Copies of this chain bind each other. A is one copy, B any other.
Amino acid sequence: MRQSNLSIDGTALWRDLMETAAFGGTARGGIRRLALSDEDLQVREWFTRTCTALGCTVGHDSMGNQFARREGSEGGLSPIMIGSHLDTQPTGGKFDGITGVLGGVALLRALHEADARTRHPIEVVNWTNEEGARFTPPMISSGVFAGVFTEEFALSRADRDGVSMKAALERGGYVGDERCGAHPAAAYFELHIEQGPVLEAEGCTIGVVRGVQGMRWYDVRVTGQDAHAGTTPMAMRADAMWAAARMIDAVHAVALDHGPDGLGTVGVVDCRPGSSNVIPGEVTFTVDLRNPSDHVLEAMEADFRTRITDIAAQCGVTAEIAPTWNSAAVHFDPACVDCVRESAQGLGYSMRDIVSGAGHDAAYVARILPTAMIFVPCLGGISHNEAESAEPDDITAGANVLLHAVLRADTRFDRA
Chain A residues with a Cβ under 8 A of chain B = 194-198, 201, 213, 215, 217, 227-236, 239, 241-242, 244-249, 252, 255-256, 259-260, 262-269, 271, 274-280, 283, 286, 288, 290, 356-358, 381-384
Contact = CB atoms under 8 A, between A and B. Distances in A.
20 contacts: A196-B228, A196-B232, A197-B236, A215-B230, A227-B382, A229-B265, A230-B290, A230-B357, A231-B381, A232-B263, A234-B263, A239-B265, A242-B248, A242-B249, A265-B277, A266-B280, A267-B274, A267-B276, A268-B275, A269-B269
A269 B271 contact: yes
B234 A256 contact: yes
Given A236-B201, A274-B267, A286-B276, A230 B213 contact: yes
B268 A274 contact: yes
A266 B267 CA distance: 18
Contacts of A245: 244-249, 252, 266
A232 B290 contact: no
A267 B275 contact: yes
A-B interface, 4 closest residue pairs, ranked by CB to CB distance from nearest: A196-B231, A230-B357, A231-B357, A245-B248
Nearest to A197: B236
Contacts of A246: 245, 249
A381 B234 contact: no
A96 to B, nearest CB: 11
Nearest to A273: B267
A303 to B, nearest CB: 15
A146 B288 CA distance: 55
Contacts of A274: 267-269
Contacts of A280: 266-267
Given A242-B248, A245-B248, A357-B232, A197 B277 contact: no
Nearest to A265: B229
Nearest to A261: B233
A242 B194 CA distance: 24
Contacts of A194: 231
Nearest to A288: B229
Contacts of A268: 271, 274-276
A267 B272 CA distance: 8
A229 B263 contact: yes
Nearest to A384: B228
A23 to B, nearest CB: 25
A232 B271 contact: no
Contacts of A236: 197-198, 201, 381
Given A265-B239, A266-B242, A198 B233 contact: yes
Most-contacted residue by chain B among A195, A242, A244 (CB, 10 A):
A242
Contacts of A217: 276
Contact of A358 (B198, B228, B269): B228
Contact of A265 (B198, B259, B279, B356): B279
B276 A234 contact: no
A290 B268 CA distance: 29
Contacts of A267: 229, 241, 271, 274-280
A209 to B, nearest CB: 12
A91 to B, nearest CB: 13
B288 A277 contact: yes
Nearest to A287: B276
Given A248-B242, A276-B217, A231 B265 contact: no
